[in-house]
């Protein structure tokens, strides 16, 4: 059974978390490179990082900067930052009250299928929402987790954007739990103009226990990917 190290990084600057991801990501790639070079089978560890970020907008490598609707001065006035990064997907927002998950997995230890990987991340969020009585689903041709797909009130509750190299993943998902949704008004989220965003807090009309949601989400990820946490 694959082994995964879980780390809760708490509220952490986006760039600091990105650098930490890159460090772990490159460590796994180095082990795999040395294994090929020396014909060895040294095992690789995978990681699951949870965190929250101060207000920040990130733009994927294929994204359109025009989907950021405000200038740098306005961002400063809202204490927000902006980064162009190397994941897939367009623009999204991260902020307090949002569970940001960064699975740094060596998929050679699981399955070598990025499509399946993305669907499992979505499924873990769908199952977590169901634990709270919130019905959610996927939207054809659009990654992430949605509510009321196909209706006039279709809205997104979790965004996905990943990068992979030699079957090692980084970046991940942003799950809106108690976050300030007004910050999404400064962007066209994921470049999608005809759908809105929501959060667990908005859907349930009450603040939700973040630690409880994290615990449930971890459990669903563990079961779906069939791994063992090494630090529990």
Other C-beta atoms closer than 10 Å to the C-beta of 16 total 12
89 dihedral zone (left: phi>0; alpha: psi -120 to 50; beta): left
Q: Which of 51, 158, 179, 190 is catalytic?
A: 190
The reply to whether 190 belongs to the active site is yes
Asked whether 168 and 104 are in contact (CB, 8 A), the reply is yes
Torsion angle defined by CA atoms of residues 86, 163, 58 and 208, in that order, rounded to the nearest 10 degrees: -160
Alpha helices in 112-229 (DSSP H): 114-131, 200-204, 210-225
How is the chain split among helix, strand and coil, in percent rounded to 5? Answer: 35, 30, 35
HSE-up of 76 (CA within 13 Å, CB side)? Answer: 3
Instruction: Name residues whose C-beta falls within 8 Å of residue 166's C-beta, 6 or more positions apart in sequence.
Output: 29, 32
- Catalytic residue positions, numbered: 190
């Amino acid at each position: 059974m694959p082994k995964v190290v879980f780390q809760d990084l708490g509220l952490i600057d986006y760039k600091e978390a990105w650098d930490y991801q890159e460090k772990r990501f490159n460590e796994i790639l180095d082990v795999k490179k040395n294994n090929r070079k020396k014909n060895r089978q040294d095992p690789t560890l995978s990681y699951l990082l949870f965190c929250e970020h101060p207000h920040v907008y990130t733009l994927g490598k294929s994204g359109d900067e025009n989907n950021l609707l405000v200038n740098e001065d306005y961002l400063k006035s809202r204490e927000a930052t902006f980064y162009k990064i190397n994941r897939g997907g367009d623009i999204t927002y991260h902020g307090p009250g949002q569970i940001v998950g960064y699975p740094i997995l060596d998929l050679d230890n699981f399955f070598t299928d990025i499509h399946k990987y993305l669907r499992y991340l979505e499924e873990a969020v769908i199952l977590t929402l169901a634990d709270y009585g919130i019905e959610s689903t996927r939207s054809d041709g659009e990654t992430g987790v949605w509510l009321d797909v196909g209706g006039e009130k279709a809205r997104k509750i979790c965004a996905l954007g990943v990068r992979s190299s030699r079957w090692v993943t980084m970046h991940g998902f942003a799950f809106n739990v108690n976050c300030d949704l007004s910050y999404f008004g400064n962007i066209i989220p994921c470049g999608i103009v005809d759908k809105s965003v929501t959060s667990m807090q908005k859907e349930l009309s009450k603040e939700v226990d973040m630690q409880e949601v994290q615990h449930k989400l971890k459990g669903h990820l563990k079961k779906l990917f069939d791994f063992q946490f090494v630090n529990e």
